[in-house]
Amino acid sequence: MAKTIMIQGTMSSAGKSLLCAGLCRVFWQDGHRVAPFKSQNMSSNCYILPEGLFMSQAQVTQAEAAGIKPDVRMNPILLKPKSDMGSEVIVNGVSRGHMKAADYSQYKNSLIPDILRAFHSLSSEYDIVVIEGAGSPAEINLKQNDIVNMGLARMCKAPVLLVGDINRGGVFAQLYGTIALLEEDEQAMIKGMIINKFRGDINLLKPGLRMIEDITNKPVLGVLPMLDINLPEEDSLFMDMQLSSQNPQGKASNVKTQREAQYNTLAQAIRENVNLQEIYAILEAGL
């Protein structure tokens, strides 16, 4: 079975998706068979696989970074919002119709077998599975029956790295507050923290890094700089990949080359700014 690591964030848009893509590229460069996984994604846009199944764009990007073709197992549940109160529910790439948010909250536990079936199937084929969480694990009103953050980490026995976004300010409060709102067993699952989107002099940040490590008893495994990453938006990613399959020698081929360069830029930033030796040790130790 594959080794696993899960990336959770202190909030939405903390950089989970790109960090997962970057780790997929790093592990692939290091000779490992690696696959991304996200149990549930919410997006208005989706990628259509050749067999007609739907999956999220983020896991398509991560699969490409991992050097493999996208597979619906990487995103067994996709929610396409249709209003503030409801979404189209897509399971294993196939629509199950529209549900109100309250109804889906009651229904989602019945999808755990689909989630675990997809995860274990990937785990049997790859060396490493990089799992992406959703939003924040500290949404205490949503923690019951969680299938995307700590609930998923438990099911998959995945150690967790917590990512905070310093660009929005208050990153130490983000990290401490998130950990403080977790149960003790959940806190123990967090094996390290990563600060994302840093600008400026790292020496000015170092005293804070030491303090947050002392307060949380968790190591800071890296500080990633703000990167000029221009991966395509969801709609254009879909169009580029479709064109690439139809006309590999044409313009879309150049776009794919540009994306490959972006994945390599992500990987290089991780190698230069994150303690990969410790991340590999976390992978080996598991939970």
Is 77 among the domain residues? no
Q: Which residues contact 188 (CB under 8 A, 6 or more apart)?
A: none
- Whether residue 117 is contained in a domain is answered as no
Residue 183 counted as domain residue: yes
Measured CA to CA, the distance from residue 87 to residue 44 in angstroms comes to: 9
51-90 residue pLDDT tens: 999 999 999 999 999 999 999 999 999 999 987 788 999 9
Q: Is residue 278 part of a domain?
A: yes
Answer whether residue 78 is part of any domain: no
107: in domain: no
* Residue 248 structural domain: 3-39+56-65+122-285
- Residue, of 223 and 84, whose pLDDT is higher: 223
Domain count, the chain: 1
CA 95, distance to chain mean position in Å, is 23
The span from the CA of 38 to the CA of 132, in Å, is 5
158-208 confidence digits (pLDDT tens)? 999 999 999 988 999 999 999 999 999 999 999 999 999 999 999 999 999
Q: Is residue 229 part of a domain?
A: yes
| 245 in any annotated domain | yes
Q: Which residues make Cβ contacts (< 8 Å) with residue 2, sequence separation at least 6?
A: 35, 122, 123, 124, 125, 126, 127, 128, 129
Which domain CATH number covers 232?
Answer: 3.40.50.300
